[in-house]
Structure 1
Amino acid sequence: MDLENKTIIVTGATSGIGLSLSEQLAEQGANLVLISRNKEKLADITDRLMSKHRINCWYFPYDLTNTEGIPTLIEQVLIKTKQIDGIINNAGFGLFAYAADTSAEITEKMFRLNVLAIIELNRVLLPHLRTRTSAQIVNIASFAGKIATPKASTYASTKSAVIGYSNALRLELKKLPVQVMTVNLGPVKTAFFTEADQSGSYQDQVAAIMLDPDRVSQKIIQHLFTKKREINLPGWMSIGTSLYHLAPSLFETIMARQFDKK
């Protein structure tokens, strides 16, 4: 797919996968709308991408946990850009803690950012996306949404919600030129773990299998504006989820030591 003249929203655009996506999309000529909380980082990234590539790039500092203001945000985006061809819902966070130790405030914040913001962004954008000849919604989920593990009850439930929502949305839009793709990932080398794994022990134990965010971004961009339903990285984890659903009790017994690494 030629991405020139396509305008794509990227949330969580100032670090990790969001930053990598922004850089690679700009290289391929896509116009960008970057959303994150950090105004200074957004401004720096926007200036750099526009000076390096012949693209249009707009930035909107916004805290997506404020879901009530998302309609106004998207209204401002469309006034500036005139058209949106796709959105990559990348913003999210996690915290590794037992369910009994996870506060109501953290649970609400996680659901607001990881789930409700995605649903609201897509809802508000859909009337516009339906008018495009080809449009794309990408929702970043996780293998945690397919196989829940200890100390990830809230995070896993948010990602499970994203997967279920994405599957239903895909079916609702099957007669329209709006593609819905879910991305399920294992551990990725990003700042996500700075907050999620404050002890640093889990990062150390899974360092050897962590995904490169540039590789993840490349795979996502490769399948934009196609009928690709899901991207699952790494592939061997996808095999694990299939085995889990065939024999969950046995799988949990065999993988108990691995599950308890958090």
Structure 2
Amino acid sequence: MHSMRLKDKIVVITGASSGIGAITAQMLSKRGAIPILIARSEDKLKETASGIQGRFGMYTCDVRDSARVEETFAEILHAYGRIDILLNNAGYGKFADFTEMPSEEFQDMMDVNYMGIVRCTKAVVPHMLERGSGQIVNVASMAGKIGSSRAVAYTASKHAVLGFTNALRQELRKSGVVISAVNPGPIATDFFKIADPTGTYVKNVAKMMMTPEHVSEQIIKTMEKSKEEMDLPGLAAFGIRLYGLFPRLADKLTYNVMNKK
């Protein structure tokens, strides 16, 4: 039986129109939560919403647009009275050699993956601080902890997400607001249609791929247990500790696995 800790919780999800955002929204609804879906595409949001049986909200918003972000969160707070959990999930990646990746792509990836989280978090933190409770869950990536070739721009953006998350957690530690990071490895979603259009990387890491359903379950567990960090898959946590102790050795040992793009 599912935990009832999320029953009637207002959970805002960015990037909710597909992948783990959409699946997490549907799973939250089954647990009695009220998912509030945010994404750029109204058509895709409606498609996701069709799989939700309980109450839900739906707002079109581009996380790169500061004014629209502020307006959207104000609308949500007016309609529902509170936001219990914010899941910052919006993001994308592209894989290319550093010399081939345009500077504009670095900027846009940082604008969506990092600044999008900053904008949404700033829109909700004052409200959570006033209530003395709440949780912000940032979907970062294993790439934010271990770099790999052909993912310089994406890795940098996720490093920024983790730095932001860790620092904000310390700043708000005694406030009642929990700041969490979920760091997944490769997930079998449409993410790779943009990141890896040739399919080479997906083919090379097929055995390591996690299902989006598994990742969504772990995200929800992070919410239910107010966990501060979750590395996925579980074996990755050991690898991260090894990397922290022996970074150069770990680079050499993991080169063939981490550089299959």
- How does the TM-score come out when normalised to structure 2? 0.94
- Distance (whole Å) between structure 2 residues aligned to residue 21 and residue 131 of structure 1: 27
Distance 1:260 1:4, change over 3 A: closer
The aligned counterpart of 1:219 is 218
Which residue identity is paired with 2:110? F
The aligned counterpart of 2:47 is 44
Which range is displaced more, 162-171 or 242-251? 242-251
- Distance (whole Å) between structure 2 residues aligned to residue 194 and residue 44 of structure 1: 19
Query: Alpha-carbon deviation of 1:96?
Result: 0.6
- Given that 2:185 and 2:233 are in contact with CA atoms closer than 8 Å, whether structure 1 keeps it comes out as yes
Query: Alpha-carbon deviation of 1:75?
Result: 1.4
Distance 1:141 1:176, change over 3 A: same
The aligned counterpart of 1:6 is 9
The aligned counterpart of 2:74 is 75
The aligned counterpart of 1:132 is 131
Query: Alpha-carbon deviation of 1:65?
Result: 2.1
- Cα RMSD after superposing both structures: 1.5
- Given that 2:18 and 2:44 are in contact with CA atoms closer than 8 Å, whether structure 1 keeps it comes out as no
- Distance (whole Å) between structure 2 residues aligned to residue 68 and residue 142 of structure 1: 27
The aligned counterpart of 1:35 is 38
- Distance (whole Å) between structure 2 residues aligned to residue 48 and residue 209 of structure 1: 28
The aligned counterpart of 2:230 is 231
- Distance (whole Å) between structure 1 residues aligned to residue 236 and residue 221 of structure 2: 20
- Given that 2:63 and 2:119 are in contact with CA atoms closer than 8 Å, whether structure 1 keeps it comes out as no
Structure 1: give runs of 5+ residues left out of the alignment: none
Query: Alpha-carbon deviation of 1:216?
Result: 1.2
Structure 2: give runs of 5+ residues left out of the alignment: none
- Distance (whole Å) between structure 2 residues aligned to residue 192 and residue 69 of structure 1: 24
- Given that 2:204 and 2:260 are in contact with CA atoms closer than 8 Å, whether structure 1 keeps it comes out as yes
Distance 1:48 1:255, change over 3 A: closer
The aligned counterpart of 1:173 is 172
SS in 2 for 1:130: helix
Query: Alpha-carbon deviation of 1:249?
Result: 2.1
- Distance (whole Å) between structure 2 residues aligned to residue 100 and residue 241 of structure 1: 28
- Given that 1:86 and 1:129 are in contact with CA atoms closer than 8 Å, whether structure 2 keeps it comes out as no
Which residue identity is paired with 1:231? M
Query: Alpha-carbon deviation of 1:209?
Result: 1.2
Distance 1:256 1:134, change over 3 A: same
Q: How does 1:1-262 map to 2 (within 5 A)?
A: 2-49=5-52, 52-53=53-54, 55=55, 57-132=56-131, 134-224=133-223, 226-262=225-261
- Distance (whole Å) between structure 2 residues aligned to residue 212 and residue 47 of structure 1: 21
- Distance (whole Å) between structure 1 residues aligned to residue 58 and residue 104 of structure 2: 28
Which residue identity is paired with 2:12? I
Which residue identity is paired with 1:90? N
Which residue identity is paired with 2:121? N
- Distance (whole Å) between structure 2 residues aligned to residue 217 and residue 258 of structure 1: 24
